[in-house]
A and B are shown apart, each in its own frame.
Chain A
Amino acid sequence: MMYSEKVLDHFSNPRNVGEIEDADGVGEVGNAKCGDIMKMYLKIDNGIISDVKFKTYGCGAAVATSSMATELIKGKPVSDALSLTNKAVVEALDGLPQVKLHCSVLAEQAIKSALSDYYTRQGIDPLPIVGEIKDED
């Protein structure tokens, strides 16, 4: 199985690892039984994702897609995060092996799950904005 250099780079030097204590939204997807869990923390100021951190249990692709997903939304408006697709994550990583594509879906869903939490905390129903979260792969 071949990982691109970008995947290996994001795996060995993952960006934005950690937690945000006063996060405005936290989301977690996946399960240990299947071997992947991603947890995302978002800090949102005036509609901008001012900070994002993640923790991931999973394979190389799971770590790399989490890392890349955080890079793609950091400093961007919430609307950009809402429209982030797994395909964009895969492209930014110069591709993923077929059997690892589900990791990119999980990364997309992790961000959506954190955004859902953000809206819920604001007293806004997240479903019409974020859609359903598929939290298992």
Chain B
Amino acid sequence: MEKRFIYADNAATTRVSDKVLEAMLPYFTKAYGNASSIYRLGRDAQRDVELARQKVAAAIGAEPTEIYFTSCGSESDNWAIKGIAEQQALKGKRHIITSVFEHHAVLHTCQYLEKKGFEVTYVPVNDKGFVDPADIQRAIRRDTALVTIMYANNEIGTIQPIGEIAAVCREMGVIFHTDAVQAVGHVEIDVKKQGIDLLSLSGHKIHAQKGIGALYVRRGITLPNFIHGGAQERNKRAGTENVPAIVGLGVAIEEAVKDIRGRSERITEKRNRLIDGILKIPYTRLNGDRDKRLPGNLNISVEGVEGESLLLMLDMNGICASSGSACTSGSLDPSHVLLSIGLKHEVAHGSLRLSIEEDITDDDVDYILEVIPKVVERLREMSPVWEKMMKGEEIV
């Protein structure tokens, strides 16, 4: 078996596409003007920033004036949540609803607000990895300022019933934000039809560069200014525009939503082949729902094996993947996402996430399915946990 290099961690970040890079390059050395300048070079930059804004808006069914460029998905989340909290607190609303398995950009922001006197309800998710809109409805109070629920989970890929949750919020008069960093470009999004008030997205998950994101804010929603000191982003987020990155995001998102259904089907087929192949290994389980998940995401727990050592072994075989083990998070606890769907610690430690894209070939899939069982067998041979499992002893 010849060693290959396979990047299967696109949920972590993606390669900048050739088309995106090509579109960006002129803005470094030729069209380098400050978009706020009056002369031609500046006006051109301004025009191209606005073109990119139109592309981002079109990709999610928004108006260009509802799109604000930020530096990343985490910034968009921070701005949306802290901004709405601050604004709503003026009306005496100091309660926020989110879920237990959000990205830390949302969870830690909510925890920060708790310290500032806000109350936060963390709704649970079921064992398949879904938030129940009825739980949101029950949690909403008269003083609820915001509901923030992720569109698709970054670890287990489950796609949440966003339209239903938004409808509940709309009916109860509560603002709804969604962290759609993992979803944009992978599932069809229409903020108007779905009734989404605010949405965070990130460039580097869809083949733009790192360091660029956007926040959609529905017209009529008042969001306080985030960075003071300039008229950029309609006074809301000062700072000279990162023109190349913004242009790149425009191209990337346009590409990402093109043929989204066909691409999704093709990726899903390969993903399912990976799932079926890996699940042939005894004592493995798929985390998250099999069907209502991101096309390229698979997350499998391999019992008797620890995730980080699995990743290192895969890396030695040229495969880049990710895990929810404690050792990859730098704490003693494994992923909060895997614990939230009811996994035991020792099962969560042995999780493996692959996030594939269309560039993966059938030969790549075959290679992965050849490598993983071998690596798992090798690690299990030296695992006292596996030994106990095979002897039927209790694992403490």
Contacts and interface: CB of A to CB of B under 8 A. Distances in A.
Nearest to B308: A59
B382 A34 contact: no
Contacts of A59: 306-309, 325, 327
Given A33-B345, A35-B349, A62-B306, A14 B382 contact: yes
Contacts of A118: none
A38 B309 CA distance: 14
A11 B384 contact: no
A57 B325 CA distance: 12
Contacts of A100: 327
Interface string A1-22: 1000000100110100110000
B312 interface: yes
> Main SS of chain A's interface residues?
mixed
B383 A56 contact: yes
Interface in A72-127: 99-100
Given A17-B382, A32-B396, A33-B345, A8 B306 contact: no
A31 B306 CA distance: 12
Interface string B286-329: 00000000000000000011111100110010000000011100
Interface in B375-396: 381-387, 395-396
A57 B385 contact: yes
Interface string A34-65: 11111100000000000000111111111100
B385 A34 contact: no
A60 B312 contact: yes
A57 B304 contact: yes
A41 to B, nearest CB: 11
A60 B382 CA distance: 13
A28 interface: yes
A57 B396 contact: no
Contacts of B384: 28, 37-39, 55-57
A60 B386 CA distance: 17
B326 A57 contact: no
B309 A60 contact: yes
Contacts of A36: 306
B330 interface: yes
Nearest to A1: B330
Nearest to B323: A59
Given A32-B395, A33-B346, A35-B327, A57 B383 contact: yes
A11 B312 contact: yes
B385 A32 contact: yes
* Most B CB within 10 A of own CB, among A11, A38, A56, A59: A59
Contacts of B344: 33
A32 B301 CA distance: 14
B382 A55 contact: yes
B231 interface: no
B332 interface: yes
Contacts of B385: 32, 37, 57
Given A32-B346, A35-B327, A35-B349, A11 B309 contact: yes
Nearest to B389: A32
A64 to B, nearest CB: 10
A36 B349 CA distance: 10
A58 B327 contact: yes
A107 to B, nearest CB: 14
B308 to A, nearest CB: 4
Given A12-B316, A55-B383, A57-B385, 12 more contacts: A11-B312, A18-B382, A32-B345, A34-B326, A34-B345, A35-B306, A55-B382, A56-B383, A58-B306, A60-B327, A62-B306, A100-B327
10 contacts: A12-B316, A32-B395, A34-B332, A35-B334, A36-B306, A55-B384, A55-B387, A56-B382, A59-B308, A137-B332
Interface of B: 304-309, 312-313, 316, 325-327, 330, 332, 334, 344-346, 349, 381-387, 395-396
